[in-house]
Amino acid sequence: MFFIDSLIFVASVATSDTRVAGYAQNISSLLNKLRKP
């Protein structure tokens, strides 16, 4: 899970596209919900 989070973080930082950053945030929050049922 940490690897996926790191990948998302790098992707969001590497691009200035707010749509990509928002998408990364949605994925991250979704993963957090899956972690804590």
Domain count, the chain: 1
Residue of higher predicted confidence among 5 and 20? 5
Cα separation, 35 vs 37, in Å, equals 6
d(CA 6, CA 31): 12
Read off the pTM.
Answer: 0.43
The answer to whether 3 and 23 are in contact (CB under 8 A) is no
Residue 7 has what pLDDT? 78
- Which structural domain range is residue 16 located in? 2-35
How far is C-alpha 36 from the geometric centre of its chain's CA atoms? 16
What pLDDT digit, counting tens, does each position of 12-31 carry?
776 666 777 778 788 888 88
The three-class DSSP label of residue 16 is coil
Q: Is 23 exposed, middle or buried (0-12, 13-18, 19+ CB in 10 A)?
A: middle
pLDDT at position 35 over 70: yes
